[in-house]
């Protein structure tokens, strides 16, 4: 084991690297001397973290934490959820598959005695869902004669512009108008903003799921005559971001709700923010909140959100099968591993990193730091210090060489609020912890890889074609709360181990083989090549 060298991978979540973007770039305004010094070193470059480089349908598609960590942990590129759903729709396999037959080709739906419910995130952000997938389901439902559909629409404002919900509402209403007919009762039934209802993850805020359950399933919440009216009402109350809109119902849905014998499709393809609502509607033993009524439904997800736990049992499109991950290869060789983040990103350095497997491997330690239950802009430091503390403790007490990975969530979670000042503070705090890690790395002869999974904090304002901020009526820059298309940093740090960059045009998929190279193991032939070599 003496030939091996310990490696720590630090993921600066949501930290893209676009120094030429001078407007709305939190990194240019933040005090980040450690990261700036690292990026000025000879062992630094940038990596692609969006589009086809991470398995998305096109290069106009943003990267995200799910696919980013999948690709880092897998060492190569797999077709991800958005692309897999597109392919299943284009080939027709989604509608010829057994799950669609089971959930949609039911006499009760054709007669109209039962209802098909479809829920999910209404946008074209292509991170958790895409509106075109919903439209395809609706059109096929009419084609096979389903009489009654109720839609449960979650508003985005996070993977798309903060106040863009009316655009998506109008598009959906247009699709519904094209499908309407005397025998077809297709309506929007309920909704809410994605950061207020339904789309919690990792058990951070079960009341969020409860609010969604009450609206979508029980029909409880403030009622509005239309989706457009609901959105405009919340705007009039001062809500500045669609993701923050609270739960609501449309029309007389409060008299309906989900009933025994109905079908329900959740059309989000990404799993982390779909699992909890799926559990709420499908699990008999459910301790997280009082459901009051649990209808007996035939439920399906767009994809299976957790393959280990089989959540859900029914799904329309098979997720990518990711084997021979970096973690599994290290585990097979008996190498000590460590993974740590706070709750908001814990599943990314565990479940997604390990190829969508929810159980730790042999000699693999997972440490979760509970996230604060407060708005991220109010505590932009989040839990970076606690993550650092746990990591330093592991590094200084490890008895043998290790491969570790951690995630600092600040750049992404605070970046999503659109609050530039808070994001600057978040980066300041993160950089301080990064410096602490480097100091301990020198003492423990640990090589540190610093990277990110996608951009976000580097692009906090909507910009015009000239790179200048787009202003609102008050001449204030319009916030950008979504991820960016920026490349991400890649740095190797170990003054005692001379290395050089040998590839400056890589992607996140090159990190696994780079880790093995530094640690002292050969990479599988099917991994993307290492970015560095020893000299």
* Averaged pLDDT in 10-residue chunks for the chain of 535 residues: 86 97 97 98 97 95 95 96 96 97 97 98 97 98 98 97 97 96 95 98 96 98 98 97 98 97 98 97 97 98 94 95 96 98 97 95 98 94 98 98 98 96 98 98 97 98 94 93 96 94 96 98 97 96
Is-contact 441 401, C-beta < 8 A?
no
What b/e readout covers 243-279, taking b as 16+ CB neighbours within 10 angstroms? bbbbbbbbeebbebbbeeebbbbbbbbbbbbbbbbbb
Q: Strand, helix or coil at 469?
A: strand
Both structure tokens of 439: 């100091």
Q: Which distant-in-sequence residues (6+ apart) come within 8 Å of 99 by Cβ?
A: 300, 314, 315, 316
User: If you ran DSSP here, which 8-state letter would residue 184 be given?
Assistant: B
pLDDT recorded at residue 118: 98
Specify the pLDDT at position 1: 39
Which of 3.40.720.10, 3.40.50.920, 3.30.70.1400, 3.90.1010.10 is the CATH number of 7-79+321-534? 3.40.720.10
Q: Which two three-digit tokens encode residue 368?
A: 């979760």
Query: Tell me, what's the pLDDT at 104?
Result: 97
* C-alpha span between 13 and 345 (Å, rounded): 9
Domain regions of the chain by residue span: 7-79+321-534, 82-317
Q: Residue 196 and residue 207: Cα distance in Å, rounded?
A: 9
Asked if residues 100 and 144 have their Cβ atoms less than 8 Å apart, the reply is: no
* Residue range 495-508, pLDDT digits in tens: 998 999 999 999 99
User: Catalytic residue among 65, 328, 486, 513, which?
Assistant: 65
Cis status of the peptide bond prior to 312, with omega within 30 of 0: yes
With pLDDT > 90 as the criterion, what percentage of the chain qualifies?
Answer: 97
pLDDT tens-digit series, residues 366-384: 999 999 989 999 999 999 9
Q: How far apart are CA 266 and CA 248, in angstroms?
A: 18
58 is catalytic: no
Q: Which residues contact 489 (CB under 8 A, 6 or more apart)?
A: 12, 15, 17, 35, 38, 39, 44, 46, 47, 450, 451, 452
Q: Does domain 82-317 fall into CATH 3.40.50.300?
A: no
């Amino acid at each position: 084991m003496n030939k091996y060298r310990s490696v720590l991978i630090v993921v600066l979540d949501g930290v893209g690297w676009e120094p030429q973007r001078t407007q709305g770039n939190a990194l240019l305004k933040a005090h980040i001397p450690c990261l700036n010094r690292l990026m000025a070193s000879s062992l630094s470059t940038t990596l692609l973290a969006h589009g086809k480089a991470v398995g998305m349908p096109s290069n106009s598609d943003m990267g995200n934490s799910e696919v980013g960590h999948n690709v880092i942990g897998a060492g190569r590129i797999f077709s991800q959820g958005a692309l897999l759903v597109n392919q299943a729709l284009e080939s027709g396999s989604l509608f010829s598959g057994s799950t669609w037959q089971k959930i949609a080709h039911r006499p009760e739906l054709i007669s109209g005695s039962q209802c098909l419910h479809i829920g999910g995130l209404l946008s074209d952000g292509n991170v958790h869902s895409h509106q075109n997938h919903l439209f395809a389901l609706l059109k096929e439902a009419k084609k096979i004669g389903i009489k009654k559909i109720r839609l449960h629409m979650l508003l985005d404002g996070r993977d798309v512009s903060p106040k863009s919900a009316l655009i998506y509402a109008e598009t959906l209403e247009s699709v519904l108008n094209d499908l309407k007919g005397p025998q077809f009762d297709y309506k929007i039934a309920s909704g809410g903003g994605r950061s207020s209802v339904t789309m919690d993850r990792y058990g951070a805020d079960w009341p969020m799921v409860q609010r969604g359950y009450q609206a979508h399933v029980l029909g409880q919440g403030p009622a509005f005559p239309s989706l457009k009216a609901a959105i405009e009402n919340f705007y009039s109350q001062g809500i500045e971001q669609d993701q923050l809109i609270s739960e609501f119902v449309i029309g007389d849905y409060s008299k309906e709700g989900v009933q025994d014998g109905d079908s329900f499709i959740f059309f989000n393809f990404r799993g982390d923010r779909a699992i909890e609502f799926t559990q709420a509607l499908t699990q008999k033993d459910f301790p997280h909140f009082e459901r009051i009524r649990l209808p007996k439904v035939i439920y399906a997800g767009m994809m299976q959100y957790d393959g280990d736990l089989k959540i859900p049992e029914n799904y329309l499109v098979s997720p990518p099968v990711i084997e021979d991950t970096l973690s599994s290869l290290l585990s097979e060789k008996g190498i000590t591993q460590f993974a740590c983040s706070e709750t908001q990103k814990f599943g990314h350095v565990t479940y997604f990193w390990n190829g969508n497997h929810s159980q730790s491997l042999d000699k693999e330690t997972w440490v979760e730091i509970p996230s604060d239950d407060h708005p991220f802009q109010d505590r932009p430091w989040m839990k970076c210090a606690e993550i650092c503390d746990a990591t330093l403790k592991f590094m200084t007490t490890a008895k043998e060489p290790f491969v570790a990975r951690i995630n600092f969530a600040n750049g992404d979670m605070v970046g999503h609020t659109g609050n530039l000042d808070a994001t600057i503070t978040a980066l300041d705090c993160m950089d301080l912890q990064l410096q602490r890690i480097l100091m301990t790395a020198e003492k423990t002869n640990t090589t540190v890889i610093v990277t990110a999974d996608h951009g976000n904090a580097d692009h906090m304002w909507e910009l015009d074609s000239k790179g200048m901020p787009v202003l609102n009526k008050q001449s204030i820059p319009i916030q950008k709360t979504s991820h960016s298309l920026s490349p991400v940093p890649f740095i190797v740090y170990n003054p005692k181990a001379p290395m050089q960059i040998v590839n400056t045009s890589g992607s996140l998929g090159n990190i696994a083989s780079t880790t093995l190279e530094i640690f002292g193991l050969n990479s599988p032939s099917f991994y993307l090549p290492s970015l560095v070599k020893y000299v």
